[in-house]
Amino acid sequence: MTELAIQVGDRVGRVSALLELPGNARALYVLAHGAGAGMRHRFMQAIATGLAERGVATLRYQFPYVEAGERRPDPPGVLEATVRAAVARAAEEVPDLPLVAGGKSLGGRMTSSAAAKSPLPGVRGLVFLGFPLHAPGRAGTERAAHLERVGLPMLFLQGTRDALADLTLMRTVCERPPGATLHVVEGGDHSFAVLKRSGRTEGEVMAELPDTIVAWLSRERIA
């Protein structure tokens, strides 16, 4: 694992990043964290490790508010600028690998928002680990309106117990943009945690997520 610093514009400053590059890497996933935890959260580490074991590199990075030790997310413009800076650094560090981008919850949504406004250079697909379609108890699809402008293959991994993404609405959302794929994780909540009575284990889910990403990369002929 290599620690990096990424410059985000002239005013925002630098953020930390972690590049995990297995020797057999065939793609690189630029992976943003969710609103409540940074790039070193155990979920993020587990995803990076699972993908590395399957030949996919990751570049995890912090958003500026997390880097500064704050809890309130930065404005969308700052978050989107950070996504762009991370994608550019990934292409610079590993220029020979195809790129995909996205992330957990907020990180994934800010990636798609940035891509909808203008293409992310070199990025060939987006992967969402729990797309936050709406606030808990406030079902709606407004947050997905921009997805039709992305113009890339997209993979949505969503748990059946995700309070931030009604599955009926998610299925409707994924029917609209061309190239959108929905993978449902049985029993998972927004963090992909499962109940003991489900009969599933955390280990099984944390294997299903990278397995699904790798299969999708192959199916979309990205890697």
Instruction: Tell me, yes or no, if the pTM score tops 0.85.
Output: yes
pLDDT of residue 118: 96
pLDDT of residue 73: 95
pLDDT of residue 10: 80
Q: Using one digit for the tens of pLDDT, what is the confidence trace for 142-175?
A: 999 999 999 999 999 999 999 999 999 999 999 9
Provide the number of structural domains found in the chain.
1
Q: Using one digit for the tens of pLDDT, what is the confidence trace for 10-34?
A: 888 999 999 999 999 999 999 999 9
Give the structural domain span for 187: 2-219
CA dist 113 to 107, 151, 193, Å?
10, 12, 26
pLDDT of residue 9: 85
pLDDT of residue 22: 96
Residues of the chain falling short of pLDDT 50: none
Q: Any idea what the CATH number is for the domain that residue 177 is in?
A: 3.40.50.1820
pLDDT of residue 223: 85
